[in-house]
Amino acid sequence: MFCAGASFVTGAHSCRTCDWVKSKDLVDGLLASYPTPGGGT
């Protein structure tokens, strides 16, 4: 993603406007789709 402007401004804006719940759910779903090494929980 390309954002024009000072890095501290664009970084803060990206952090503030991110849908953190949706992002967490996406990562959790991807990680759950892989088998656990050793077959444990």
pLDDT at 39: 66
Tens of pLDDT, residues 4-29 = 778 888 778 888 888 999 999 999 99
3-class DSSP string for 1-41: CCCCCCHHHHHHHHHHHCCHHHHHHHHHHHHHCCCCHHHCC
Rounded to an integer, what distance in angstroms lies between the CA atom of residue 16 and that of residue 31?
A: 25
Give the three-state DSSP class for 30: helix
> Tokens 């406007």 identify what position?
17
